[in-house]
Amino acid sequence: MVGEDVREFLAENGFVILPDLFTPAEVREVADALDALFARFAELPATSTLDLGATAGEFGRDVPEILYPSLLAPALRDTAVFRRSSDLARRLLGPGTWFRFDHSIRKPPGCAYETVWHQDRVHKRSGLPERRLNVWVPTAPVAVADGCLRYVPGSHLGGVLPHEPVPGRRGALRTVGVDEAGAVDCPLPLGGAALHLFETVHGAHPNLGASTRTAWILQFTRPRALVPAAAWLHRAVHRRHIRRWGDAGAAR
């Protein structure tokens, strides 16, 4: 399914588009689970929800985000989308790769908020060396006008770039000085996925279309530990850290 050409494209460009990774029925299963969570967004634990459109003062539901939806709805981990994404990540990053994080970002129709240019690595807290891969799965076809992802090819090769806060957008960090001329828009059909590395500069358009744009984003890591015990410790610390999301979800 995924050949050497995909691995090479990812290594060179920092992202790759797979237009038919899943069947429509497989994506619909995910869409149903996420829709059920978004339907009770206001009742989810406060630690599981964010508004990516939040201004300096307000925290509303402009761009609702759910953290660790697969802990709140464990059936997500039994889906073909999860299994195939995990296999793919293992094949692309190598043995020892594991699933570390998922979130879902929804842009309602007419949502004027772009996802600003950023590198995911900028948000990393631990200093441990590792490679990470995101698998971005939209639950419906996504055109440029619906808020598809966009990438700066090759931007993962320049290390961590300077970022600055975005005025009026709480918590948002934006890569400084991105040359948009070289950026690539990545519209996707239903069943498609966009993959990117931890250092790739990326963003997403506002949703100026008429449909809701929802994406399930799965993140995988491959620690670069010289000693196996260090990789094991890394994973154990992470499991302990995320327990509170699972506990908060289960408590409801």
Ligand X SMILES: O=C(O)CCC(=O)C(=O)O
Of the residues 79, 134, 175, 221, which one makes contact with ligand X according to CB under 6 A? 134
Smallest separation, CB 30 to ligand X (Å) = 14
Given the structure tokens 């961590």, which residue do they identify? 160
Interaction between residue 54 and ligand X (CB under 6 A): no
Tell the burial category of 156 from Cβ atoms under 10 Å away from its Cβ (0-12, 13-18, 19+). buried
User: 24-39 and 80-93 helices cross at what angle (nearest 10)?
Assistant: 110
Smallest separation, CB 120 to ligand X (Å) = 5
Smallest separation, CB 227 to ligand X (Å) = 30
Of the residues 49, 115, 119, 139, which one makes contact with ligand X according to CB under 6 A? 115
Given the structure tokens 């609702």, which residue do they identify? 64
Distances in whole angstroms, Cα of residue 138 to Cα of each of 19, 147, 162, 193, 217: 11, 10, 29, 7, 8
Return the CA Rg of the chain: 17
Smallest separation, CB 138 to ligand X (Å) = 8
Interaction between residue 65 and ligand X (CB under 6 A): no
Interaction between residue 142 and ligand X (CB under 6 A): no
- Considering only residues 84-103, where is the footprint of ligand X by CB under 6 A? none
Q: What's the rounded Cα separation, in Å, for the pair 36 and 150? A: 28
> Which chain residues interact with ligand X by CB under 6 A?
105, 115, 120, 134, 136, 202, 204, 215, 217
